[in-house]
Amino acid sequence: MAVEAKICGLSTPEAVDAAVRFGARWVGFVTYPPSPRHVSTETMRALGERVPKKVGRVGLFVDPDDALLDEKLATGALDLLQLHGAETPERIAAIRRRTGRPVMKVIKVATPEDLERGIAAYGSVADRLMFDAAEGTLPGGNARTFDWAILSGRSVPLPWFLAGGLTPDNVTDAVRMTAARAVDVSSGVESGRGVKSIELIRAFLARTASL
């Protein structure tokens, strides 16, 4: 069974089309203005319309208020909400109830204790988890890995994604070490900060399809 791959931080029709064409299971749109991958509401709407139903569309949010969630969800372009900030378990539960959308909470990992705390806090309120590197100036897309051995042999009660510094060159080792069945990439398929490479998207998805 191939590892599911999410290509995050997509901002152009060409990149979205490449992710779909080469086999991404998920595509991600960033709604965080400080990020070079941020897209406007109208761009998100247009990009989301290009995605076939077999591919899930994910919105990346950082501590969003209800008004922002309502604005982005009104585009009809989001199937899953990825929360990358300091959202509490109570806020996660409230967003799920209010929006009716499944929620993925990102856990920043630097130590085994980070992993355990994150699972304990969010394992009963989120629909999915994502484990990402704790270091970096942005909430995600910092091209930083963490010690994958922290996840080796660890049972997680929810479906989960591995993220943080993945590339076509290291994703095979990352999956073998962690047994991840879903991976997320953004900076690792870019030719420049925020600029997606069609060739790197193709290479990354070819690697995950073979795992």
Domains and CATH numbers, the chain: 4-209 (3.20.20.70)
End-to-end CA distance of the chain: 7
Residue 1: predicted pLDDT: 63
Residue 142: predicted pLDDT: 58
C-alpha 10/C-alpha 196 separation (Å) is: 7
For 21-32, the pLDDT digits (tens) are 999 999 999 999
**Which residues of the chain, if any, have pLDDT below 50?**
none
For 135-164, the pLDDT digits (tens) are 655 555 556 899 999 999 999 999 999 999
Listed residue (126, 68, 76, 119) closest to 97, CA to CA: 126
Distance of CA 16 to the CA centre of its chain: 15
Residue 2: predicted pLDDT: 79
Contact predicate 89/125, CB 8 Å = yes
What does the radius of gyration of the chain's CA atoms come to, in whole angstroms? 16
